[in-house]
Chain A
């Protein structure tokens, strides 16, 4: 995410923060604030216009049009959509037997597979699942170029997957696909005692297109076998997180006719059961709260090993799961409609105990943000959609609209947020984005940026494409604005391509609960202040 230059952030925030931030207020608004009428000094960034036709044009498919970086003209755009074309064909594979010998091709046969075509970084895609009886598929795509086609066998795990790039589909096309039989990728996944680990999911990811390919699971001896075509791959070994088995990845280059043996040792899988309770402010247990443990480091495993374990609370608010020793971030995420804020802790899981308790954690109720939205000319603006989305956790979003006096009241979760203001009338200002740190004191006046207008008309074969959803994003995928075309296919929206930062204290995680809990003796360099009886040490929290 690109932020405004720091001086601009501070100056604008001074206005927004008002009396609550005297230091910032001391910076002169007139001297330092953004001059909304000044020409846009920076080169305009690349924009992506994603058009999602509605049921008003059900035969059209979602499509993306890019406005190249540096293009001065963002208005009166004419977006001509491509027609939908049919892709038909069938998929075959080889019943290679025995699996290790590619010189024994077996029999060519139709296979069950997922066939998909897409243009990377756009909304253009289509696909179909085939059945083994005939391997046939038929699906639609918007006509165009730069397609990636991938075929991933779904039943025959020993078959390779197929990726083709730079394809152009301009008319109805029939294609016959054969995934071949590739070469073997095999090995064993073991723990530190050499015992095979069953149930580890092994998956190949093609490195050029990041296509997630075929996957299999290790058997009871830890053995796995896959096939792949020549190329560069990342191999993901994903253990059963609920049993404390981590995930790791390796890269391989597969040459023609050369099998690859890759054996993996996960090290010790000696877990600690971590338990606790989630309570509301009446000390009642909270049901169905997601508890997500993400390892920052594992004490006895390589840095390439990761572990994310997710569980949820029962009706008494109790949760328990198995973790490897190490440092974790724990997120407590209540259901969306519970009216509670999520919380976060840092914990350390030691290796000298088999059971550790995090004790009781309480979740705070949502807070309320009251504010007023002002135009760039500092007039209150009605009908502005105010959306606040949590940063991190599950990205919960809360929305409301400003009333006749420009004021709004919005339930709000604690923590870092991204707030988006979307005027109903583009002339009132741009869709404006604010990013606040957990510790930031949110302003009660929100100023719309002037921004730049993006407008145009969407056509198909000379006819207007009415009531299509238009998403405008930047190169990072950040949603800048969203609107609908009208009955004439026209759209107009004012976007601000920068993010206004509501500053907070970088050294503090603020309202997020931050605790260091040491459950044992692992020497990880973190301060251990004692209390080995319970396996719990709380070195401070910020509620």
Chain B
């Protein structure tokens, strides 16, 4: 069974109105497998500095900086237990 998101940053759009913004997901794997998370931006590519969010839950978080280059990009979290199809969750970014 693939892992599923149980909680995440709400909404489909993230507005960066000041310095930075956290985006996070928390997932659960029905089989208890370790979940690997990978974050990416539609134009800028992979985000390498994600950190876990809130053990003992399995989750991951990134911090997006207030950077005009992010405006209009889509940030996606891809996660997998390594055995089943990967899952994704995406948000569109608006930088003010």
Please report A residues at the B interface, Cβ cutoff 8 Å. 50, 52-58, 62, 114-118, 120, 123, 125-129, 139, 152, 335-337, 383, 385, 387, 389, 394-397, 399, 401, 420, 422-425, 467, 469-471, 479, 482-484
Contacts and interface: CB of A to CB of B under 8 A. Distances in A.
- Most B-side CB within 10 Å, residue of A126, A139, A383, A482: A482
A383 B46 CA distance: 27
Nearest to A386: B52
Nearest to A154: B96
A59 to B, nearest CB: 9
B1 interface: no
B26 to A, nearest CB: 6
B8 A470 contact: no
Interface string B38-82: 100000011111111111110101000000000000000000000
A170 B61 CA distance: 30
Given A387-B51, A396-B48, A401-B34, A127 B22 contact: no
B96 A114 contact: yes
Contact of A337 (B17, B21, B46): B46
Task: Name the 8 nearest CB pairs between A and B, nearest first.
Answer: A118-B18, A127-B17, A484-B54, A336-B48, A424-B56, A396-B48, A116-B17, A58-B10
Interface of B: 6-11, 15, 17-19, 21-22, 24, 26, 34, 38, 45-57, 59, 61, 94, 96
B11 to A, nearest CB: 7
A534 to B, nearest CB: 34
Contact of A399 (B7, B47, B51, B96): B51
Given A52-B22, A128-B96, A469 B46 contact: no
Contacts of B26: 54, 467, 469, 484
A126 B38 CA distance: 27
Contact of A383 (B10, B11, B56): B56
A425 B48 contact: no
23 contacts: A50-B22, A54-B10, A55-B9, A55-B11, A116-B18, A127-B15, A127-B96, A335-B45, A337-B46, A394-B48, A399-B51, A401-B34, A422-B52, A422-B55, A469-B22, A469-B24, A470-B54, A482-B54, A482-B61, A484-B53, A484-B54, A484-B57, A484-B59
Contacts of A383: 55-56
Contacts of A385: 52, 55
Nearest to A397: B49
B25 to A, nearest CB: 9
Nearest to A126: B17
